[in-house]
Structure 1
């Protein structure tokens, strides 16, 4: 697939030392993937990585993507539409409150995966760290295999720590192109299990609408009280560039400059932030603007490595982490350090506000342009996800502002 080129030049390449540290973290990803869910379960790590309250309304989404040989187009759509989808989720409100977003990712149907596990892998458990989610998404590759829809739905219901909050919005999106009936776990049984946990199962067939119905994708959605749709998974994402993208992307660079790093693994996280900026920009400056808009939202926070975000939650962190700060900040008195952090906090807030204001104008511009486009121009993964989201969010009392 050819990516759209852009003349916008960004100074986004992380220093070599940051990238090396990031690559070191990737080597240990297997250990983290295996043990982090267990640590989270016992309270060693908070489940939320967002800037909203833990008591905020909750939206949980599990993406189940077919990564068999014929699904390169589907994975490209997921990569190129991630930030657009997340931005739509940030528009949801419940009782006037911003929700906490938690996203999980599974792949299935890949011959490189274990046959004993049904060619299924949990790529990312529920997380609010969307930089990490993007990293995991961009690591996906395709290879021929067996696609067991019922089994991957069952795995996501059984393995993920779904909230028991009756007011939470819980969603599964499964996308693929083989019959829904394949595999050892009957799809009806898996969808019934999802229904018991009040999880909507939305099915997205990659191919002809009627073929998907014959393959029981619609039946799966009905049993899971979700929606059925079909997409052209080989269509290339059409980005609508706007007069506001250039300024938003410059503000993103300014936003990056407001991060004050602390902690032992800071270089890994900061390098990944820069890398996901680059991944977004590969597609277009419009896609980079989508990412910048999400980074300006309350659901983008980095309290685990950024002193500004951490300070909002815990004022005592300035004293605890002073020795891990950059040398220039270690030399400051306690009062001077707090003043500097507060200065960066205000600077970041000003930048975020400007991005959000430009984002409103940008959204109106895009909606006007989309009204001129043919229906099949938006027949893709992102549009299918968002259509189901808007309808099901209403059922749970959410309003899309």
Structure 2
């Protein structure tokens, strides 16, 4: 969903990253607190003091979102799921789960963990705020705790709206899944709620812009568009999962176009790249797989040297990054393509090249399955 992001630290085995887009929301939060929230509740302070409180409040929001996502991740890991880490981005945070929950019960507990954590944090901040009113803590400090208590309640309540893939939408999916024993159907219903809620936010945003609240309106529209997009892609992933369940590469692989390591790069380009338009070619020595050569690798060599340099001198040796087994699950191969950035992979069995599989072939199969199943996605 996101790029690599900026790695900050690791907590209990969870890698914490910040997407560059988070800087946008961080800046807006600091600005809105410094010129709006704190001056409204605390009159008479110097402008620099408002900005200091705003920075502290922004760090508190950072911690609150991280705390919310941490409990999603911790519960998921306790239930046996693999969690890559937590990434903060412009619209909040996301626990990067490597797989879907295997039961509605697991889905429910993972989804509810975040809002419960936010409500707990809201209670803690509120108690500190109340204690601060009866002590010598400055008004500035207590106002920060009041803001953090309020923002955590908002985080919990907003996330409980039954709009997939938000927490409330995941709870809705868990309930529907439990009732009908059909995860795909439950995902479709919950995703439709999410897409509809996205439209509502977009409508509210346009209304706000028409009434003069341009900045607030734009944010409503952006969040609505994001939720709508996330709902549609979440359902699409479920359709893909259903279509690919039990499928192996053996049924999708095609006969490969191979080259010899004795070819020059010039011959490779003229006789193979321009003819077949592939980005990767397996390199064979007789029947034995030596490796593969890609157009990107050829592109790193000065064009004037192509006639003098052999494919065998530039090719990349076989590894788990560029070769798969014919009985490997299609979803695993897709994940491998995503992580390595490769769209074509060799299919190797007992050190023999038995086929080639491409992202284009897999997507073509998925499209055909969806048309045959009559699934047109969300409206």
TM-score, shorter chain, exceeding 0.5: no
TM bucket, shorter chain: under 0.3
RCO (CA 8 Å, sep 6+): is it higher in 1 or 2? 1
Give the number of the structure whose alpha-carbon radius of gyration is greater.
Answer: 2
TM-score by length of 1: 0.21
Q: Whose helix proportion is higher, 1 or 2?
A: 2
